[in-house]
Amino acid sequence: MKGTFIVLFALFVMSCEKQELLDGKKTRVLLEAFELDSRETLVTNLSSLRVVVLQDNVVARYFSFPSTNLSGVSVNLPVGRYDLLFIANGPEEKEVSCNVGDPVEKVSLKLLDEGDAHREASDFLTATRRVNVTINSEAAIPVSLARRVGKIRVSLTDLPANIDSLKIELSGAPSGVSADGSAAGNAASIVKRVAYAKGSPSATAEILTFPVAANKAEISVLYSIGHVTYRGFMKLSPAIEANRVVSVAGQYLPTSPRGFEFSVQTWDEANVVDGGSLEMGQLDDVAADNTPPAGVPAGNNLLANGGFETWEVDTLPAGWKYNRDGARGISRAATSRVAEGKYSCRLEPRSYIYQDVAVTERKCYRIRARVNSNTSLYKWRVFCTWRKTASSALPASSSAAIQTLESGVTTGWLDVFGNSDKFRAPVGANILRVEFRAYTSGDVEIPASEGVYIDAVDVRLLQE
C-alpha cells in the first residue's frame, strides 16, 4: 500500500512538472530596467507596454499591460527559446496590429484614422531580446528601448492679428511602420490643430510621425482668416528619421512669400543635421472656403433633362446614367406621380441614376430635387458628391451637406433640401455628381402602384 502511494505521488509530481513546462508557472521573465539613449527611462513614463513572444519568427503569445501595471511587469513562459519584442506606448488597441499566429513581419505600429486625416503617432519605443527559459528559471532582463518616430516642430512668429485658427499638416507620412522600424501602410496626412489664441503674434506645434524617406513628405501651415483657409507649404528634402527633430521657424510677411528656415536636429536638439525653408504669405493657396453660400440663381438649369421629360427608352431618361443593374429598376412614370411636366422617374430597389455637372470651386450653387415615395418596402437616398474628376471624389466630409440619410415613405412630394438648398463648391471641385439611390435588404416583389419617384431636379449657379 505504501509503495502504491509513493508511485502515485511520483506520477502526480511528474504530471505537475509537465504542466508547468506547458503553462510556464515557474518560468517568469521579469522586466526591470528600461534605457533610452543611454539614459534610464522610468516605466511610469510609459503609457502602455506590449510583450510579443516570437518562436521561429511567428507570434506565439501576446501580453498587454496598461501604464498602471508597468512597475514589476512579468510574463510566464514555458521552457524554450524565444525572441521577445517589447512595444512601449500606443495605449489604444488599434495602434498596434498583432495576433497570435502572425509572422513577425505583420506586427506593425499604426496611425489612428480620424476622418479625412490621421492622428499623429504615439511616441513608440521598441526593443527585442532573445531569452532561453529553463525549468524554474527566473531571469531579470534589462531592456534598451529605441524610438521609432520622428518629430516635426513648427514655430511661427509675427502672425497677423486677424488669423482665427492654425493647423499643421504633414502629408506623405506612412500610415504604419513595422515593429523593426521599416515603412508599412499607405501614405497618410497628419493634421494637428495648433493651440493658438487669436491675436497672439506667435504659435508652436509639434507632430510625431513615423520615418519618411527624403523628398517624400510635405509640411503645411493651414491658417484661417474669416471663413477662408490658406495653405503655406514646403517639400521636406531631408528624410524624417526616428529619434530626430525637424524644426521649422520663420516670420509671416503679408505682401510676399518668405522663406521659413528649418533645421533637422537630434532628439535632444544638440546637433543640427540639415536645413531649408517654408513659404508662407499673402500669395498662399486657398485650402478651403467656408464662407456661407449666398446669391440668387443665374442662368439655366445646369442639369440636362432635370424634369425627366425626355427618355431614350422607357428605362433611361436622356442625359442620365445608371449602374449595371439600373435598367431593371428605372422606369418612366406619369399621371399622379409627377411633380411638374408630364413625366417623372421611378426607382425600384438596388438601382440608381446619376448625372455629372461641371462646377467651379468656391462658387455657390442652388440644388433642388423633389422625391415622392409611397412604398414602405424599400428606402431611398440623395447621394450628391463634389468631385475632382468623374473617377476621383473629394473627401467625404466635403459632400456631407448635400446628402440625405436613407428615407422612407413621404407625404406627397418632398422638397429634399427645403430652404437649405444653397451650397458652396469646395476647393478642388470641378464636378458635382447628382445621384439618387434606392435600397432594400433583400428581394421583394414591388407592386406597380408603389415606388420612389423623382422629379424637378435643378442645379443653378448663384450670382453673388
Tell the residue number behind the cell numbers 475632382, with chain if given: 388
Same domain, yes or no: 266 and 133: no
pLDDT band at 220 (very low <50, low <70, confident <90, very high): confident
pLDDT at 417 over 60: yes
Note the pLDDT of residue 11.
Answer: 34
- Note whether 110 and 246 are same-domain residues: no
Residue 359: what pLDDT? Answer: 96
* 1 found inside a domain: no
Question: Can you tell me the distance from the alpha carbon of 171 to that of 191, in angstroms, rounded to the nearest whole number?
Answer: 9
Q: Which pLDDT belongs to residue 9?
A: 33
Portion of the chain with pLDDT greater than 90, in percent: 36
Place 19 in a pLDDT band, splitting at 50, 70 and 90.
Answer: very low
Pair (384, 452) in one structural domain:
yes
Regarding whether 300 and 200 lie in a shared domain, the answer is no
Query: So what's the pLDDT on residue 36?
Result: 53
My answer on whether 346 and 265 are in the same domain is no
- Which domain CATH number covers 257? 2.60.40.2630
In this structure, the answer to whether residues 245 and 259 fall within a common structural domain is yes
Tell me, yes or no, whether 137 lies in a domain: yes
CA distance 382 to 323: 15
pLDDT(239) > 80: no
Task: Please tell me whether residues 18 and 130 are part of one structural domain.
Answer: yes
Would you say residue 241 lies in a domain?
yes
- Give the length of the chain: 464
Last residue of a domain, one of 289, 307, 328: 289
Q: Are residues 167 and 117 in the same domain?
A: no
Q: Is 233 a member of any domain?
A: yes
HEC states along 104-135?
HHHCEEECCEECCEECCCCCCEEEEEEEEECC
The string of DSSP letters for 268-324 reads: TS-SEEEEEEEEEBTTPEEEEE-PPP--EEESS-SSTTTT---EEETTEETT-EE-T
Report if residue 3 sits inside a domain: no
Name the β-bridge partners of 261. Answer: 249, 277
Does residue 20 fall inside a structural domain? yes
| CATH number, domain containing residue 390 | 2.60.120.260
Give me the residue label for grid cell 544638440: 270
pLDDT at site 137: 64
Residues 103 and 167 in one domain: no
**Local confidence band at 22 (pLDDT 50, 70, 90 cut-offs):** very low
Instruction: State the residue for C-alpha cell 512601449.
Output: 88
The number of distinct structural domains making up the chain is 3
Note the pLDDT of residue 310.
Answer: 94
On whether both 250 and 376 belong to a single domain, the answer is no
C-alpha cell at 258: 518668405
Task: Give the pLDDT score at 300.
Answer: 94
Domain CATH number, residue 57: 2.60.40.2100
The alpha carbon of residue 138 and the mean position of all alpha carbons in its chain are separated, in whole angstroms, by: 44
The average pLDDT across 250-275 equals 55
Q: What is the pLDDT of residues 46-94, one digit of tens each?
A: 888 899 999 999 999 999 888 766 766 778 888 888 999 999 899 999 9
**Sequence-distant (≥ 6) Cβ neighbours of residue 270 within 8 angstroms:** none
How high is the pLDDT of residue 423?
95
Q: What is the pLDDT of residue 385?
A: 94
Q: Show the cell assigned to 330.
A: 428605372
Could you give phi then psi for residue 29, rounded to 5 degrees?
-115, 115
The residue range of the domain holding 72 is 9-147
- Asked whether residue 344 carries a pLDDT value surpassing 50, the answer given is yes
pLDDT in tens, 130-155: 888 877 666 677 777 888 898 888 88
Residue 352 has a CB neighbour count (10 Å cut-off) of: 20
> Residue 95, class by beta-carbon neighbours within 10 Å (0-12 exposed, 13-18 middle, 19+ buried)?
buried
Tens-digit pLDDT profile for residues 111-120 = 998 877 899 9
Structural domain contains residue 2: no
Average pLDDT over residues 373-391: 92
- Please compute the mean of the pLDDT values over residues 255-275 and round it to a whole number: 52
Domain boundary (97, 120, 147) is at 147
pLDDT in the model for residue 136: 66
* Of 6-20, 67-81, 254-268, 276-290, the least confident: 6-20
Q: Which of 107, 127, 147 is the last residue of a domain?
A: 147
Task: Kindly write down the DSSP assignment for every residue of 374-414, as one continuous string.
Answer: --SS-EEEEB-EEEEETTEEPPGGGGGGGB---B---SSSE
The verdict on 347 and 446 lying in the same domain is: yes
**Residue 398 belongs to some domain of the structure:** yes
Residues 123 and 161 in one domain: no
